[in-house]
Structure 1
Amino acid sequence: FVLYEYVYRKNGFAFPATDCGIPGCAVLCEYPYGNNPNPTSRFVHVVGIGFKQKKVQLLSDITGAFRPGILTALMGVSGAGKTTLMDVLSGRKTGGIIEGEIRIGGYLKVQDAYARVSGYCEQTDIHTPHLTVEESLIYSAWLRLPSYIDSETKASFINEVLETIELDEIKDSIVGIAGVNGLSTEQRKRLTIAVELVANPSIMFMDEPTTGLDARAAAIVMRAVKNVVETGRTVVCTIHQPSIHIFEAFDELILMKTGGRIIYSGPLGQNSSRVIQYFQNIPGVPKIKDKYNPATWMLDVTSKSAEAQTSIDFADVYETSTLYKENIELVKQLSSPPPDSKELEFPTRFPQNGWEQFKACLWKQHLSYWRSPSYNLARFFFFSVSSVIFGILFWQRGTKINNQQDLFNALGVMYSALFFFGINSCSSILPFISIQRTVMYREMFAGMYSSWAYSFAQVIIEIPYLLGVALLYVMITYPMIGFYWSAYKVLWSFYTMFCSLLCFTYLGMMIVSLTPNTPVAFIMASSSYSVLNLFSGFYMPR
């Protein structure tokens, strides 16, 4: 595919203009077959015990062009390879065998550089729930725009994006959790587009932007998409059975059949006239009814059952058509580097240096923690109540140390408190970090920051809160239990509780990073408590 890069000069900065060519792209994937023999576009190569391996070709000889200022639709029945093709073009498909060429400006694509000038809007809208709409854009622009752009230019660009995507009226609204609170589904879709657009990409890929929306919401989202196209960017959307109004908002169409082959690639025309004329000129294809949805009609007449009835292979028909030859010539023209052009490259892997990445991540973590009373306020309340209960249960036990048994009782009090509050800290952070992990995956793939910058910010932000709850525990329990009063011993008691809470909290973070989902994380955490208890040194063998 040939991808032109949009050069944005209004705010005084631009990326090199490029194009990308992919003649004859093909994807071959292995999957285990048994009870469920149907491969999916997002399948990862897994060797299953007791399953045979079978190779399936998901894409076959894909050749075409995407151009700037043109909204292109990728359509096809389920399993046709729409999302697979988009993942290959964006660099997200890494499993299986990928053949063919991807060229940018006539040069072979380098993924690190390509990721800096392209945006990918996933079908699932993944955002930090505790930020506002404007803060989400500020954060994305902070990490994805080049470091030489000053803050005033960034602010101006963010405001322009808010207006383009029609989010300026709700810019101070909290994003929230999907299906629970915050923005509506349609507003989240537009925010997903805005978060990518604020990075000033030349090319934007959108995976079914209208899925799950009613007619009104879908129209609003498509209006925002058209606004993006009008800025001169190249926009490609996968779409599944759109309405007439949504379908006719596109400029060009790439229609695919099962097996990953193209059966049409070209302009839609006024009221879809070009694509309708193309298929109606094929002998045996029924005419479209008046006021019938052209998208639905095309999917019906080119379905697998329709091909079997008419004995027509629409992919073969397309490959012998004049339209196919025109597309081949277009790809040949645009796949050669323009005169005096240079290959797209950047001096650094990330737009910002490590310190800026850390500051941005810490800023986001600070807002997320400060606006999470269900996590932070709840644990302060829990520590307050639990500390009072501990003080009542072990009232003045520290003043009654007259023999070895009394000493072990006092030791048991400290051990019980450390382990009890530690388990609570570990268990509390598991669901909180799990929510942020999905956001982190999206942001890291977009090349916003390194894992070290994010992890260090996540570790640092916990320290002031754990200092607070550790201090709260010592202030309540130390006088109630009646331990010996001296600054040295009080500080050691505080230090011990603080370090224990740090260890348990960071254990929870590590468990979340090692497990696929929250339920598994809780199971693994429960097992680790027993191991820590056994090796804590409190239970000594006789």
Structure 2
Amino acid sequence: MKNRKSSSFLKGGTRVPAGSFRSATYPISVGFLSQKQINTPSSGSSINSIYLNYSTLIFSLLSSHPSISSSSLLSKPPPYSSPTFSQVGVTHTHTNMAENLGEPPKTPPMDSHNFQFIMSSCYPITLKFIDVCHRVKVQNEATTTITKMFSTPGPTSPVQTSQERTILNNITGMVSPGEILAVLGPSGSGKSTLLNALAGRLHGHNLTGSVLANGRKLTKPVLKRTGFVTQDDVLYPHLTVKETLVFCSFLRLPNTLSKPEKISIAKSVIVELGLEKCENTIIGNSFIRGVSGGERKRVSIAHEMLINPSLLVLDEPTSGLDSTAAHRLVSTLKSLAAKGKTVVTSVHQPSSRVYQMFDKVLVLSEGRSIYFGKGNEAMNYFESVGFSPSFPMNPADFLLDLANGVCQLEGTTETDKPNVKQVLVSSYNSLLAPRVKAICMEATNLIPTETKIQSTGSATKTRNRNGCSMCISTWFSQFSILMQRSLKERKHETLNSLRVFQVLAASLLVGSMWWHSDYHDVQDRLGVLFVISIFWGVFPSFNAVFVFPQERAIFMKERASGMYTLSSYFMAHIVGDLPMELILPTMFIAITYWMTGLKAEVGAFVLTVLVLLGYVLVSQGLGLAFGAIIMDAKRASTIVTVTMLAFVLTGGYYVHKVPSCLAWIKYLSTTFYSYRLLINVQYGQGNEIASLLGCSHRHGINRASCKFIEEDIRNQIHPGMSIIILFFMFIMYRMIAYIALRRITS
């Protein structure tokens, strides 16, 4: 901070005592460079000063267009839309200002067709947000569930009321192309909520104010050009960096580009973000070793850079990174901003060298602004209102102390010090807020009213209702790519050694226990058939429970980005899981069937395999449905366990005569129908079993079993009806899962 030269925050004004700052006015800057500042930058400013770079880029591109004056370029962005590179006649010019300002690179990163697409799809976006407020309803603490259970109606009973909590309170600011706006504040100050609102991901009746891109409310074309990087790196852990970005390019880039061209764009992004060394390394996670934390964060940024966004929003990208990795990451963002992109990011605790790379800073405290302006002028401003550090320290740390209210005014003691947060909010509202709002309003010609932010919400609702209005690839293309990605991501599960061992051990154990069972020993054979039904009812349903809960974060992120439709994702999962779901039960029954000495006919074996595979798919659908409805793997697995226990008990083997009050459960039981189909393959409709038990004689030795068999034959469901019911369950469970996922996305 000592070596940096900047315009005085109080230039032209007079410093006043701390007690009278409310009535003072200062001609302070809020982060907009004047023409003089652009033409003659200070010696200490970096050559990568964002607005300087952006202005130089526009001048170099438009030098042959005398109709556009330099003053109009330097004053402020156009009110409605900024000219694209293609509109001014530039199609193949590439300027890398991070390396050599104003000079084209020696070798273009990709062929002219791809580069023309990239340049024409990106245009500068000036983002403004005026009086953004967000309120949520919270239940009164006194009206908890336990209170309502034990309270009696009457005049003294607690009344259920809901209170509104303000998350954001009249937040105003703007950021131009080529700039980085850093949102600082403690946890719970509203940083993530503000970023979601700026990215068009927050909508509803509780959001008021205006969020504008080039003077207009957020529209679908703007949302297509907006990249949003979440705080958590939501990526598939078993895919490599290259595979992750290539599959993403297949889904997010238009079909007018061929696959080789999309791969070329993905490779260029890998080079741009410095991921060449780890492109063949898997992503990994907390339990799987892969790329480093900084590299994983850059992969998340590359995910959004594939579409060459004009607006890039990042939610705490430096969280969990060390100082060096955080500096490298913000340097990457700086280079991206230098190419004309608008970057907005929240930062929790940046280092001093990271803080110096921010062009503008917005400091939040409990949802209210306490500063908005240039980052290098924040300390001067707070000193002018009586807050200054007692010793040299990181400016970001000092700002966070102020936002937390742990700093005191100069000349006050602990006993009489005022509420720091109230003082800071009051000083901001009287000194900074009018100027910030005036500049934003002047550029947009808006009337400051409490306008509901409807356009973003309606756009989101339209997207969800129509499936995916932002998708640019066909349904079959999405289905094919998603299925390939699913197979590649889950290939480690298909022939997982532990799972294969589990199935082999179970098949050998069952085969050994019922080794060459006698055809006439009906009870033993019914036992082995029922054990098969139990194992392949619980095993696939329990595994399917984890599918959607584990992928929820990735699914929600990609759906919000408009990468694919829900139906293509769902069908790709259903079809992609078939190999894993069908190979293992086929291997199991191939071993168990012949070891147990079941009906030694090829036709009977094939029918047994078909019945078992159908039963497996139905059980898998049950697990998918519960997983999609509950979206919590632990709770869903518990419910599936209880459900399968009920299905097994009413399956017809343990209890011959189910109580009438519970008899209806067996008609919902998948085990009930599959078990009877397996019996039918071995013994027909039951008459053969009766003959084997000697039930044709009036006083057979198995009198109790004969009574059960006779009743069962009379009440037995036809095999064709059992097949129809199982097929109906196969469709119904998957429809329930699809509807549950659709409810989540809406």
TM-score with structure 2 setting the length: 0.63
* Cα distance in 2 between the residues matched to 1:233 and 1:100: 24
Number of the residue aligned with 1:46? none
Alignment of 1:34-433 (within 5 A): 34=141, 52-94=161-203, 97-110=206-219, 112-258=220-366, 260-268=367-375, 272=376, 274-282=377-385, 284-286=386-388, 289-290=391-392, 292-301=393-402, 303-305=404-406, 306=408, 309=417, 313-321=423-431, 324-334=434-444, 348-372=469-493, 376-397=496-517, 400-402=518-520, 406-431=521-546, 433=548
The answer to whether the 8 A contact 1:204-1:234 is kept is yes
Q: Tell whether 2:124 aligns with 1:15.
A: no
The answer to whether the 8 A contact 1:6-1:234 is kept is no
Letter in 1 for 2:527: G
- Deviation, structure 1 residue 19: 4.5
How big is the alpha-carbon RMSD for the aligned residues of Structure 1 and Structure 2?
3.1
- Deviation, structure 1 residue 5: 8.1
Q: Which has the higher contact order (CA 8 A, sep 6+)?
A: 1
List, as ranges, runs of 4+ consecutive aligned residues in structure 1 with deviation greater than 6 Å.
Answer: 1-6, 343-347
Greater Cα offset, 453-462 or 191-200: 191-200
SS where residue 321 of structure 2 aligns? coil
The answer to whether the 8 A contact 1:64-1:328 is kept is no
* Cα distance in 1 between the residues matched to 2:538 and 2:556: 27
* Cα distance in 2 between the residues matched to 1:157 and 1:520: 42
Please list every run of 5 or more consecutive structure 2 residues that lacks an aligned counterpart in the other structure. Answer: 1-76, 86-90, 95-114, 145-157, 410-415, 447-454, 658-707, 709-746
Number of the residue aligned with 2:131? 24
Deviations 1:334-387 (A, max 9, x none): 478xxxxxx9999944121211111111011110121336x7443332222211
Aligned residues: 511
- Deviation, structure 1 residue 524: 1.1
The answer to whether the 8 A contact 1:474-1:494 is kept is yes
The answer to whether the 8 A contact 1:19-1:334 is kept is no
Letter in 2 for 1:471: T
Change in Cα spacing, 1:175 to 1:413, as seen in structure 2 (3 Å) is same
Change in Cα spacing, 1:199 to 1:3, as seen in structure 2 (3 Å) is farther
* Cα distance in 1 between the residues matched to 2:184 and 2:215: 27
* Cα distance in 1 between the residues matched to 2:167 and 2:128: 19
Letter in 2 for 1:468: I
SS where residue 490 of structure 2 aligns? helix
SS where residue 101 of structure 1 aligns? strand
- Deviation, structure 1 residue 468: 1.7
* Cα distance in 2 between the residues matched to 1:5 and 1:129: 39
SS where residue 472 of structure 1 aligns? helix
SS where residue 204 of structure 1 aligns? strand
Structure whose CA Rg is larger: 2
Letter in 1 for 2:488: L
* Cα distance in 2 between the residues matched to 1:219 and 1:468: 49
The answer to whether the 8 A contact 1:4-1:66 is kept is no
Change in Cα spacing, 1:235 to 1:179, as seen in structure 2 (3 Å) is farther
- Deviation, structure 1 residue 179: 4.7
SS where residue 64 of structure 1 aligns? strand
* Cα distance in 2 between the residues matched to 1:450 and 1:127: 18
Deviations 1:155-214 (A, max 9, x none): 222122112221111000011222542222222212111112123222111111111222
The answer to whether the 8 A contact 2:389-2:398 is kept is no
The answer to whether the 8 A contact 1:288-1:294 is kept is no
SS where residue 493 of structure 2 aligns? coil
Return the match for 1:477 from 592, 601, 620.
592
Number of the residue aligned with 1:43? none
Change in Cα spacing, 1:243 to 1:197, as seen in structure 2 (3 Å) is same
The answer to whether the 8 A contact 2:372-2:432 is kept is no
Change in Cα spacing, 1:84 to 1:359, as seen in structure 2 (3 Å) is same
- Deviation, structure 1 residue 303: 4.2
Of all paired residues, the percent bearing the same amino acid is: 23
- Deviation, structure 1 residue 327: 4.9
* Cα distance in 1 between the residues matched to 2:81 and 2:198: 13
* Cα distance in 2 between the residues matched to 1:220 and 1:170: 16
